[in-house]
Chain A
Amino acid sequence: MNMEEHVIIETEGLTKIYNGQIAVDHVSFKVMKGEVFGFLGPNGAGKTTILLMLLGLTEPTSGKVRVMDIDPTRDAIKVKGLIGYMPENMGFYNDLDAIQTLRFMADLNGIPGKIADERIERALKIVGLEGDAIKRVGAYSRGMRQRLGLAELLVKEPKVAFLDEPTLGLDPDATNRIIELIENFTREKEMTIILCSHFLEMVQRLCKRMGIMIKGRMVAQGTMDALAREKFGLDQNEYTLEEIYMKYFQET
């Protein structure tokens, strides 16, 4: 099997400097087709900046970025069509209802009306919002908004999804639903996912490989076993991801 064919996202020496401050410092990583890649790190470590560069919303200062062999800085429109981005603190138009919100996004993606309607109906059912479909999004709870964000991904059906803190501020029940939905994405839609989160339990459950970002640098990446071996030289079973993460964090 040719490995190269399955590389979906690739960066090399990716660097971003904001007003003289280094936000991202020579980050190189690869994400393979169909995998969930976990992005860990404290706030302000540069995770979101990397996502924005992958999306072509922000230009890298230097370094190489490729998303499915396309350069996002050159051909942002094409890349944006392939990626579904769910930002932290996702914003919605409060006056629209769920169906209008999803239809607007479908229109922006140029999905024809009939197909969009079918996908919207199915997506709302999958995320469990079919009962609130004609309620104003402004009246939604945080969990419902996050689920609507995931419904948007289902309507867009991107090849790659970036989820930035999808469970931040949710209660355990809502968190579980989100995790199940993400699992569903990879299993049924074969989506490749980059997941940024502080909720390590979720990362441990969903991600095979992960990268740890601290102060703009990717200090480690690999499977959990590999990360654990590197730091503890022991079998990974005895450590949770949290302990591994803390170890890296304290050493940097």
Chain B
Amino acid sequence: MHGLKVIFKKELADHFSSYRFIILFSLIGMVSLIISYMVGLTIKNELQGIAKPKFVFLMLFISQGGLFSFVQFVAFFGPLIGLILGFDLINRERNEGTLSRILSQPIYRDAVINGKFLAGVTTISIMMVSIILVITGLGLKMIGVIPGVEELCRIFLYLIISIIYISFWLGVAILFSILFRSVTTSALAVLAAWIFFSFFIPLGANIIAKAYVPDTGGENPEVLIRQASIQRAISLSSPIILYSDATATIIDPTRKTTRSFVLMGPFEKISQERFSGPLTIDQSLLIVLPYIITLIAITVVCFSISYTVFMRQEIRSA
């Protein structure tokens, strides 16, 4: 236990004093500020003179300001936080010869990897909490609406899911830093993974669906439905899609399903059309619970692979 604490403290200090963290943090802080400022302006203008609708505050997170909304921004660039923080955690120490030195001290070997992972998760949490607090503060000032309890709960849930999501990418990065001896290789591998999941899977899902169920010309609904369901199944293999769908539903109470309109059953369609009231938070949570559980599961799986590989790796001098 005490080894874990020492490593954790050291890693946390390392993160906070690194240029990498400062650059990453200021970049992401800046972008989120700009997004929420623009969204705030729009909301403020549009709310002038009309009665305030419910859940105005959450709009700060889901409305598009400039290119994308804050939620979309985190979905796309959140992974980079995790990846950049983690891609060289183990192999840099191995290359510099500090790993064998730490491991020859009286601590358990898993203290090293656990401490590093926990320190990364803590760094990510602090980053996300402070960014969301800044946005919330800015929103309070700009649109002058105080968020209700439910809105705060939803933001809190959103925060938790985001932290798990970014931690998953941290886990991927740590795994790569264990598997690849060279820091450059793991950096490239990590980038490749990010590009693959964020760009190729959505693109590839579309192409594969079309190849599997070719267009028959005209608008055959059966073909469209089959295409859409294949595309959906494939894109769900990307954590980015899992995360975007989960958080979009959590942060937007009017969203009642993660499925696209094409795939909805008749009852779903009717309820969507007739009952436009917002969902309660537990109902929203119920819809995306499988997504959240999957996110947690892949994070755990990823970390346990890293853990096992790391524990079994031979420590050699060179």
Residues of A within 8 A of B (CB): 18, 48, 52, 55, 57-58, 77-78, 80-81, 83, 85, 87-95, 104-105, 107-110, 164
Contact = CB atoms under 8 A, between A and B. Distances in A.
A91 B317 contact: no
A74 B14 CA distance: 33
A55 B104 contact: yes
B17 A57 contact: no
A81 B103 contact: no
A164 B101 contact: no
Given A77-B107, A77-B108, A108 B315 contact: no
Interface of B: 2-3, 6-7, 9-10, 14, 17, 93, 96-108, 314-317
B97 A85 contact: no
A48 B55 CA distance: 65
Contacts of A104: 6, 10
A58 B96 CA distance: 19
A80 B106 CA distance: 5
Contact of A57 (B98, B100, B107): B100
Nearest to A82: B106
A108 B316 contact: no
B318 to A, nearest CB: 8
A178 B315 CA distance: 27
A110 B9 CA distance: 14
A85 B34 CA distance: 52
A57 B103 contact: yes
A91 B317 CA distance: 11
A108 B102 contact: yes
B106 A57 contact: no
A75 B314 CA distance: 17
Contact of B104 (A18, A80, A95, A110): A80
A193 to B, nearest CB: 15
Most buried by B among A48, A94, A107, A108: A108
Most buried by B among A18, A77, A91, A94: A91
